């Protein structure tokens, strides 16, 4: 077992806040194995790199010999966590929740050690809680205490609706901590209020309160807003190795150090020097490290070399997918949309206006007609910096 000071050093890397270090030390002195809890509501099917910040911290606890309880919030997802929201979340159906939960459990074990992870669903204890138990739980907190939350207080001041269900949410998440007798709970720094509720409900139940560890929210590829599917600035764990690397290469330089700190185990002194001397090479190394975690050494190395070949040396990729077109004539925007080469018609228009489309290596800025009757040859289409397609007439 690693000594306590070294454990603390590992655990504190990248942490936003811990309540408290002294309590964590005391727990580590008394217990060889802590119960470390993370609750996740399966409100969307994909896990992205923003989620992995906390999952990697959980894995560190596992590697230090501690037990991880991964709670799938199939019950709480019916309400939707109001943390960081300025509107009420839509209520999901049970079918959507269970489908999302299945993909979550498949993806998290790309990071967590399956043998050292206990996966539980909070419906196991929240359904049996019943109306009497729920009323008792609701009696533990006042409306005034709930309105101390920054997001609730702001919504109340702006006269945006807050449902009673949203008030109940932190109590249900806190009750998860009572049931699991968590020693430590992890969450994003927007989760602090919910985690504190867990501490207080544990105290009320006569259980030693959990230590709270909050992690920073990772900005997405735009470098401004938190990584989210809603903002289309996310890098999914299910992205191909090529797409994952390319998206990392697209992040602004000013958030590169944060990505290194939260997504890798590299020595930050060495990384700071690398970023200062050659930001482009540092970012390529970041892409390589992240891809290596999920796809292995060989794939990461190949993707890095291929990117350098296309982006730096301006050569064509080794393999270019072929699309056989159905019609003889197409407006360019219609073709991009029909074959899902862009996510939408508006994205196709934006790329055109910004000079992000090339045909046979020539930049195109207007919605031209592609005529496969007059010119029945193969066309090389480039979308953005890295996406190449060969168009062949059918």
**360 vs 373: CA distance, rounded Å:** 17
pLDDT of residue 115: 92
Instruction: List the structure tokens of 290.
Output: 């992240």
More confident residue, 79 or 220: 220
Residue 191: pLDDT over 60:
yes
pLDDT of residue 301: 96
Q: How many CB atoms lie within 10 A of CB 140?
A: 15
Q: How confident is the model at residue 81 (pLDDT cuts 50, 70, 90)?
A: low
Q: How confident is the model at residue 152 (pLDDT cuts 50, 70, 90)?
A: confident
Query: Among 137, 97, 138, which Cα is nearest to 121's?
Result: 97
CA dihedral for 178, 78, 137, 159, sign (positive or negative): positive
Q: How confident is the model at residue 230 (pLDDT cuts 50, 70, 90)?
A: confident
Q: How many CB atoms lie within 10 A of CB 376?
A: 10
pLDDT of residue 252: 95
pLDDT of residue 105: 84
Instruction: List the structure tokens of 116.
Output: 């050292």
pLDDT of residue 91: 65
The domains found in the chain, sorted by start residue, are 4-215 (3.40.50.620), 241-312 (1.10.240.10), 322-393 (3.10.290.10)
pLDDT digits (tens, 9 = 90+) for 133-147: 999 999 998 888 888
- Rg (C-alpha) for the chain, rounded Å, is 24
Q: How confident is the model at residue 90 (pLDDT cuts 50, 70, 90)?
A: low
More confident residue, 86 or 69: 69
**249 vs 256: CA distance, rounded Å:** 10
More confident residue, 335 or 343: 335
DSSP letters spanning 85-107: -SSPPPPPPHHHHHHHHHHHHHH
Residue 86: pLDDT over 60:
no
Q: Tell me the average pLDDT of the chain.
A: 89
**Among the residues of 149-219, which ranges form H helices?**
150-157, 164-180, 192-204
Query: Among 380, 382, 299, which Cα is nearest to 390's?
Result: 380
**238 vs 77: CA distance, rounded Å:** 22
Query: Among 383, 390, 386, which Cα is nearest to 343's?
Result: 383
Residue 18: pLDDT over 90:
yes
At a CB cut-off of 8 Å and minimum separation 6, what does 271 contact?
257, 260, 282
Q: What percent of the chain has pLDDT over 90?
A: 57
By mean pLDDT, which of 102-116, 148-162, 182-196 is the weakest? Answer: 148-162
At a CB cut-off of 8 Å and minimum separation 6, what does 207 contact?
178, 181
Mean pLDDT of 147-151: 79
By mean pLDDT, which of 186-190, 200-204, 229-233, 259-263 is the weakest? Answer: 229-233
By mean pLDDT, which of 9-13, 93-97, 207-211, 335-339 is the weakest? Answer: 93-97
């Amino acid at each position: 077992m690693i000594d306590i000071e070294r454990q603390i050093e590992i655990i504190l890397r990248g942490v936003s806040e811990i309540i408290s270090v002294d309590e964590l030390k005391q727990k580590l002195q008394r217990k060889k194995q802590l119960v470390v809890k993370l609750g996740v509501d399966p409100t969307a099917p994909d896990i992205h790199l923003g989620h992995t910040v906390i999952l990697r911290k959980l894995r560190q606890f596992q590697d230090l010999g501690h037990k991880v309880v991964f709670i799938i919030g199939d019950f709480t997802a019916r309400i939707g966590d109001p943390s960081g929201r300025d509107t009420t979340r839509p209520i999901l159906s049970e079918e959507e929740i269970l489908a999302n939960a299945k993909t979550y459990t498949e993806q998290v074990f790309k990071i967590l050690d399956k043998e050292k992870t206990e996966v539980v669903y909070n419906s196991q204890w929240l359904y049996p809680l019943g109306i009497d138990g729920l009323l008792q739980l609701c009696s533990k907190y006042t409306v005034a205490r709930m309105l101390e939350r920054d997001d609730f207080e702001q919504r109340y001041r702006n006269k945006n609706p807050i449902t009673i269900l949203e008030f109940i949410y932190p109590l249900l998440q806190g009750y998860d901590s009572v049931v699991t007798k968590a020693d430590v709970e992890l969450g994003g720094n927007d989760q602090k209020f919910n985690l504190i509720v867990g501490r207080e409900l544990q105290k009320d139940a006569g259980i030693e309160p959990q230590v709270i560890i909050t992690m920073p929210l990772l900005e997405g590829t735009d470098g401004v807003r938190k990584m989210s599917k809603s903002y289309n600035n996310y890098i999914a764990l299910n992205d191909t190795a090529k797409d994952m690397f390319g998206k990392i290469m697209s992040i602004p330089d000013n958030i590169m150090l944060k990505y290194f700190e939260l997504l890798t185990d590299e020595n930050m002194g060495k990384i700071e020097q690398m970023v200062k001397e050659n930001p482009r090479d540092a970012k390529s190394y970041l892409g390589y490290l992240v891809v290596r975690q999920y796809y292995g050494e060989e794939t990461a190395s190949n993707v890095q070399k291929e990117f350098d070949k296309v982006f730096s040396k301006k050569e064509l990729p080794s393999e270019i997918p072929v699309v056989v077109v159905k019609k003889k004539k197409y407006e360019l925007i219609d073709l991009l949309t029909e074959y899902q080469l862009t996510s939408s018609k508006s994205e196709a228009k934006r790329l055109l206006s910004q000079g992000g489309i090339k045909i046979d290596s020539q930049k195109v800025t207007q919605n031209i007609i592609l005529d496969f009757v007059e010119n029945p040859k193969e066309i090389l289409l480039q979308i953005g910096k890295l996406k190449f397609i060969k168009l062949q007439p059918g």
